[in-house]
Amino acid sequence: MAVNKRLTERTVINIAGKNFTVARVVKVTKGSAPKSQRHNERENKVYQNINVDSSMSHLNYHYKSPEGKSYNERFDELVEQKIISTRGLKEDATHFDEIIFDVNTRYFEDRGGYEFAKEFYQEAYEFVKEKYGEDKIISAVMHADELNEAVTAELGYPVYHYHLHVVAIPTVRKEILYSKRCKDVELRGTVKEVITQVSHSKMWESKPKLNEKGEPVLTAEGKKVIEKSYSLLQDDFYNHMVKAGFTDFERGEKGSTAEHLSDLEYKTKKETERYKEVEKKLELSSEYAEKVGDVLIALESTEDIGEKTILGKYKVSEEDLNTLREAAEVGIAAQAKLKEKDEEIKNKDWIIDDQGKTITSLRKQNNALEAKVEEWKEKYNSLKEKCEPYLVALKKFPEKAKEFVKDIKERIKEEKAQAAWKDAAGKVRKRYKSRDDMER
């Protein structure tokens, strides 16, 4: 079963009546930007998310619009205007961050719905402006056209899930220095220019966690505790919104599955809930069907109804006959409905089981990849540590370091040549020895 790798917008669940905020970042390359644009700006004709109601898309609210241009076109314009610099940026690197802000549906629905959501996400947009700078923001749009089926079923009228997509360019301030080869000796090492460099990794670089004294926090093994930048984003967003007067919600838990439910997991959870609801309705229907069944049996057994005529047939009053007919029709309809519900439950059960297996498989793959990444990180750090003395020497004594490496290469080359010569000589000796043995 194919699984959409793009994380769903509905990543927050309502647990025991509590509301949770989530702010997360999705990395977008120039190649994947058109796909993000089609989803965010509602340019598709058909959406993989079946809950998108195109008839409500006119309510999607832009805090900043790409003004009819593509995300990549707006990016290139900023480069031309020298607002951003792509120095050192690879073509397949991250060019945009898509920040998605979310709170569970009931939080908005219980406080005014659409208008309240617009005010809330206006403040969230202000938060992004502080982080990225308004001139680096390409698009900011609140989606108001995705139906929340669970809340709709609960409240009995259409309820839409409000969330905010912001596409911005991650940048850092970088000082370009005059090189040591600069003809003007006094300028060497001084700042030549300051650029706004596009770099997701530098903007979201994880840093050591500090204690109250500003010192690094250490683990029991003495290693520095690294605080993930995305986790700090959660804290900053939550604190910003509370300070702005928006309360009655909690910060999404660090590492909680509530923050990272995929679209598949979310729908599986909802299907499970709806499966239980159908079971309850089925129990009530079964009780009703038993009563109707009694009426049907009574209809088939008419010996005790009416009077027997001289021809051996029974006479039934029109009133009794109409009553029995109505009961029979109701019973037959109930049986048909029960059969339909039974088939629906079987289908839901199959879907849930299949989706559960898919999730388990994906988690195993993810765990294996994470383990492989950690293994290569350790190898890289080990290699970096071994090469550190040479890198220092290369920086301080470049000529000697190069001579040292050249000397090692020559030795390795010489050793290989000697080994090859010995191997060849051994083969010759072996050949002559075999010939002598044959002559004997």
Residue 379 resides in a domain: no
What pLDDT was estimated at residue 34? Answer: 94
Q: Are residues 171 and 104 in the same domain?
A: yes
Q: What is the pLDDT confidence band of residue 137, given thresholds at 50, 70 and 90?
A: very high
Q: Are residues 111 and 168 in the same domain?
A: yes
d(CA 164, CA 141): 6
Residue 297 resides in a domain: yes
What pLDDT was estimated at residue 324? Answer: 65
Strands 250-251 and 314-315: unpaired
Query: Exposure pattern of 305-322 as b/e (b: 16+ CB <10 Å)?
Result: eeeeeeeeeeeeeeeeee
pLDDT digits (tens, 9 = 90+) for 63-85: 999 999 999 999 999 999 999 99
Residues 126 and 59: beta-carbon distance below 8 Å: no
**Sign of the alpha-carbon torsion through 142, 146, 152, 154:** negative
DSSP conformational letter for 244: T
Strands 20-29 and 250-251: parallel
Residues 330 and 292: beta-carbon distance below 8 Å: yes
Q: Are residues 297 and 324 in the same domain?
A: yes
Residues 6+ apart with CB under 8 A from 304: none
Between 69 and 318, name the one with better pLDDT.
69
Q: Are residues 410 and 353 in the same domain?
A: no
Q: Are residues 207 and 320 in the same domain?
A: no
Query: Exposure pattern of 244-281 as b/e (b: 16+ CB <10 Å)?
Result: eebeebebbeeeeebbebbbbbbbbebbeeeeeeeeee
Q: Which of 151, 198, 153, 156 is nearest to 174 (CA)?
A: 198
- At which of 229, 260, 291 does a domain end? 260
CATH of the domain at 119: 3.30.930.30
| Positions of E strands within 8-76 | 20-29, 61-64
Residue 254 resides in a domain: yes
**How does the average pLDDT of the chain come out, rounded?**
77
Q: Are residues 293 and 194 in the same domain?
A: no
Q: Which of 119, 118, 142, 140 is nearest to 128 (CA)?
A: 140
What pLDDT was estimated at residue 267? Answer: 54
Q: Are residues 358 and 404 in the same domain?
A: no
What pLDDT was estimated at residue 285? Answer: 57
To which H or E segment does residue 194 belong? strand 191-198
At 434, which amino acid appears? S
Residue 14 resides in a domain: no
Residues 135 and 66: beta-carbon distance below 8 Å: no
- At which of 311, 345, 364 does a domain end? 364
Residue with token string 């204690």 = 211
Residue 15 resides in a domain: no
* Nearest-5° Cα angle at 285, 282 to 291: 145
Q: Are residues 61 and 125 in the same domain?
A: yes
Between 263 and 173, name the one with better pLDDT.
173
Residue 6 resides in a domain: no
**Whole-structure pTM value:** 0.55
Q: Are residues 348 and 233 in the same domain?
A: no
d(CA 60, CA 299): 58
Q: Are residues 129 and 35 in the same domain?
A: yes
- At which of 208, 225, 260 does a domain end? 260
Residue 277 resides in a domain: yes
What pLDDT was estimated at residue 5? Answer: 33
pLDDT digits (tens, 9 = 90+) for 79-115: 999 999 999 899 899 999 999 999 888 899 989 999 9
What pLDDT was estimated at residue 404? Answer: 76
- What token pair was written down for 50? 């079946």
What total number of domains does the chain contain?
3
User: Which domain range does residue 207 map to?
Assistant: 20-260
pLDDT digits (tens, 9 = 90+) for 381-408: 777 677 777 667 766 777 777 777 777 7
Residues 6+ apart with CB under 8 A from 324: 295, 298, 299, 305
Query: Exposure pattern of 368-384 as b/e (b: 16+ CB <10 Å)?
Result: eeeeeeeeeeeeeeeee
Q: What is the pLDDT confidence band of residue 365, given thresholds at 50, 70 and 90?
A: confident
Q: Are residues 303 and 249 in the same domain?
A: no
Residue 61 resides in a domain: yes
Q: Are residues 196 and 315 in the same domain?
A: no
d(CA 323, CA 331): 12
Across 221-235, 299-313, 322-336, least confident range:
299-313
What pLDDT was estimated at residue 10? Answer: 34
Residues 6+ apart with CB under 8 A from 54: 42, 145
What pLDDT was estimated at residue 37? Answer: 94
What pLDDT was estimated at residue 189? Answer: 85
